[in-house]
């Protein structure tokens, strides 16, 4: 990156470190922090959407829908989330390929599962074998994102379900007294009022989501954990201009600090948001303000 980096062997001390930290691979490492932020930015609203759907389903009047919503919430809560991540990444992939098989290869007559293989016709492969590398990476990221959204959607559904229950009954009764239908009450009274009750739970959920992002590594995305392991491992002069011993412990220390900062910043922002939203509301937070 710097002009004096052309001959690494002649460098030492800080100049060496400055050059070392700006190699191409390190740039990829810094970019992967962007991957984590992108995942957070995309997953949070998607999970909220899933959560909203789950919460609405869990309080539906139609029994099967209600059961479905409640089962979704209960199962995701009683099984470790990492098991879900590992499960959904393969399951979603195979499910999509199976659907494409049905649509694209109607004359396919072999079973999909042959022994220990999952076989579909080549047109149904996702992404197709000839696709460039970035398509594979984007596809992997999308699968991971969707998996996160399903799991955290269940947590969000739990929070939103509680928040809907927490809206004072009198508000709903007043709306009914004005002759609003169930849908109108829901849209005009319940949904606008539930957010303030949902916020503590949602803030908590955000923290859990932030702390779940390193699991991206397990889903095969080249995230910060991947790069920390790659770059931190011992490098010999044979493979690099910048040999060093096993530095993984420092790289992981850096990740630890990154997450602590992210948590602290989130805490401060969420506290402010809570103060603003509860201002003048008839809750303990609003009373205090």
Cβ at position 265, least distance to another protein in Å: 11
Residue 205 binds another protein, judged by CB under 8 A: yes
Sign of the C-alpha dihedral computed for residues 219, 223, 226 and 230 taken in this order: positive
Sign of the C-alpha dihedral computed for residues 122, 219, 161 and 266 taken in this order: negative
To the nearest 10°, report the CA torsion of 281, 283, 284, 288.
10
Q: What is the maximum alpha-carbon separation in the chain?
A: 83
Residue 67 binds another protein, judged by CB under 8 A: no
Residue 213 binds another protein, judged by CB under 8 A: yes
Residue 175 or 198 with smaller CB distance to another protein: 198
Residue 204 binds another protein, judged by CB under 8 A: yes
Residue 175 or 226 with smaller CB distance to another protein: 226
Residue 78 binds another protein, judged by CB under 8 A: yes
User: Which among 41-49, 168-176, 187-195, 259-267 is the span making contact with another protein, rule CB under 8 A?
Assistant: 259-267
Q: Which of 17, 49, 74, 287 binds another protein (CB under 8 A)?
A: 74
Residue 19 or 194 with smaller CB distance to another protein: 194
Residue 175 or 202 with smaller CB distance to another protein: 202
**Bridge partners of 127?**
none
Q: Compute CA distances 115 → 112, 118, 144, 164, 236, whole Å.
A: 10, 8, 27, 48, 43
Per the CB < 8 A criterion, the answer to whether 50 and 88 are in contact is no
Sign of the C-alpha dihedral computed for residues 86, 230, 142 and 76 taken in this order: positive
Q: Which of 34, 37, 49, 113 binds another protein (CB under 8 A)?
A: 113
55 CB-contact burial (10 Å; exposed 0-12 / middle 13-18 / buried 19+):
buried
Half-sphere exposure of residue 229: CA atoms within 13 angstroms, side-chain side: 7
Residues that bind another protein (CB under 8 A): 73-75, 77-83, 86-87, 90-91, 94, 113, 116-118, 155, 158-159, 162, 201, 204-205, 208, 210-215, 217-218, 225, 228, 232, 246, 248-249, 252-253, 255-256, 259-260, 263-264
């Amino acid at each position: 990156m710097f002009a004096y980096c052309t001959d690494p062997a002649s460098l030492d001390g800080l100049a060496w470190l400055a050059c070392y930290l700006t190699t191409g691979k390190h740039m990829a490492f810094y970019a992967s922090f962007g991957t984590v932020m992108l995942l957070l930015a995309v997953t949070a609203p998607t999970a909220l959407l899933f959560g909203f759907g789950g919460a609405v389903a869990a309080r539906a009047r139609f029994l099967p829908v209600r059961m479905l919503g409640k089962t979704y919430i209960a199962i995701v809560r009683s099984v470790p989330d990492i098991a879900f991540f590992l499960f959904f990444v393969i399951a979603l992939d195979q499910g999509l390929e199976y659907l494409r098989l049905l649509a694209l290869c109607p004359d396919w007559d072999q079973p999909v599962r042959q022994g220990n293989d999952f076989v579909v016709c080549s047109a149904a492969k996702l992404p197709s074998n000839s696709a460039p590398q970035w398509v594979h990476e984007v596809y992997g990221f999308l699968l991971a994102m969707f998996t996160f959204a399903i799991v955290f959607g269940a947590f969000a559904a739990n929070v939103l379900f509680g928040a809907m229950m927490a809206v004072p009954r009198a508000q709903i009764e007043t709306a009914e007294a004005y002759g609003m239908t169930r849908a109108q009450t829901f849209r005009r009274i319940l949904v606008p009022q539930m957010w303030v009750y949902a916020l503590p739970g949602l803030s908590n959920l955000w923290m859990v989501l932030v702390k779940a992002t390193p699991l991206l590594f397990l889903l095969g995305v080249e995230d910060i954990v991947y790069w920390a392991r790659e770059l931190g491992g011992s490098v010999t002069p044979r493979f690099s201009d910048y040999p060093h011993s096993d530095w993984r412990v420092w790289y992981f220390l850096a990740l630890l600090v990154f997450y602590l900062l992210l948590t602290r910043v989130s805490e401060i922002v969420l506290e402010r948001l809570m103060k603003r939203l509860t201002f003048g509301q008839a809750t303990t937070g609003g009373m205090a303000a």
